[in-house]
Amino acid sequence: MKTCKFATKRLKLTKKGRVLFRQAGQNHFNAKQSGAKTRGKRGFQTMSKSQKKIFKQLLT
């Protein structure tokens, strides 16, 4: 099975098997948001167990 290219560009698979993704809505229009909201969107988020199973197949 071929690797799904959208998944390789947007998701990251860690050594321990977690699937990481970037929080949506952090590219522009951030001036009006509070500082706490902006800081909360930084970094990567971990994917839920039910979604992780699906996206692991796409990445391998």
pLDDT per residue as tens digits for the range 2-40: 788 888 888 888 899 899 998 888 888 888 999 998 888
Quick one: pLDDT at residue 36? 93
CATH number at residue 22: 4.10.410.60
Q: Smallest Cα–Cα separation from 55: which of 16, 22, 12?
A: 12
CA 37/CA 48 separation, integer angstroms: 21
Quick one: pLDDT at residue 20? 92
Q: Smallest Cα–Cα separation from 38: which of 56, 57, 23, 54?
A: 23
What total of structural domains would you count in the chain? 1
Is the model's pLDDT at 1 over the cut of 80? no
CA 8/CA 2 separation, integer angstroms: 11
Distances 58 to 11, 25, 32, 51 between C-alpha atoms, Å: 10, 24, 36, 11
pLDDT band at 57 (very low <50, low <70, confident <90, very high): confident
Is the model's pLDDT at 60 over the cut of 80? no
**Domain range enclosing 47:** 5-59
